[in-house]
Amino acid sequence: MATVDLFAIGNALIDQEFKVSDEFLADVGLQKGTMQLTEGDTQAALYGKLLASQEYKGQASGGSAANTAVAFSALGGRAFYGCRVGHDELGSIYLQGLNDADIVTSEKSLTEGVTGTCMVLISPDTERTMHTYLGITTALSVDQIDFEPLKSAKWLYIEGYLSTSPSARQAVMHAREIAKAHGVKVALSLSDPAMVQYAREGLDEMIADGVDLLFCNEQEALMYTATETLEAAFQVLKAKNHTVVITQSAKGATVSTPSQHFHLDGRRVTAIDANGAGDAFAGAFLFALNHGMSLEDAAQLSILISSEVVSQYGPRLDVTTYATLLTNFQTECA
């Protein structure tokens, strides 16, 4: 198997994206801006309602860490994605979508079962609300992941959504042991306010004694630390984790390490769809660090990439767009 720089683990979900009204969200009882887990029959019923009354925007091989791996790869890195999909049509479509984005996958990811789906609902204020049927990915375990590429990787990346699954958490802890044994740095994202609210113990288990790089947004940071200001949240988060990056939507991002603390403003863009912005930010940030950029340049590049993502529908840019943005960024920095 090819050598990779980034080894990512996450839920494998086929995203179905819709532009929806606030009234629709209220009618179906969904809390805006969060992810809600559901069963297959409930997912099918919602899908039918969406097709009948809302605007369909497209399908993609989604999942938070998968989006991060795509951004990392499209910028010029080499990424592996460990996941679990069903031996069904959607499973084949999912893995092929990642392979088309030059993400390395393993046949071990294919097992009997139903591939998970996520209804991504974009409201008029650009906020994304997700209704997720995990399918077979809820049983992601050590058995479905080829850990060999991790031994020579530079980064292990973990999505917080895995906190809801006991077997996935075991796979994460196994990955962390391998990373520690081979000098691989560990990055983790809290992923969603719902994970902080409903799966806090799972997050704590995966974070364990801390990670090298922690990503979260402002709401997640305040909820996780039970604080009221970012300054207080940073103090709590930095007690365990070396580098903490808190994204703040249009306001930009703040980065803190034992020796640095700085804020960078966001870019002015016309936001359309916030889905995948945090994932793209993390992918660009990891790519930048892996290629020797400073923390400030890494944050600037990540703000650039994520702001472009929110300017269009879908969690990812066209593959060639990442490279163009990187070239322009490097030219401006020269």
pLDDT at 2 over 70: no
Tens digits of residue pLDDT in 199-217: 999 999 999 999 999 999 9
Model-wide pTM > 0.75: yes
Average pLDDT over residues 118-137: 93
- CA 93 – CA 101 distance, rounded (Å): 12
Give pLDDT, residue 315. 86
Share of the chain above pLDDT 90, in %: 91
pLDDT at 334 over 80: no
Tens digits of residue pLDDT in 52-109: 999 999 888 889 999 999 999 999 999 999 999 999 999 999 999 999 999 999 999 9
Rg (CA), the chain: 18
Give pLDDT, residue 1. 56
Share of the chain above pLDDT 70, in %: 99
Average pLDDT over residues 281-310: 97
- CA 84 – CA 114 distance, rounded (Å): 10
pLDDT at 156 over 60: yes
Average pLDDT over residues 32-58: 94
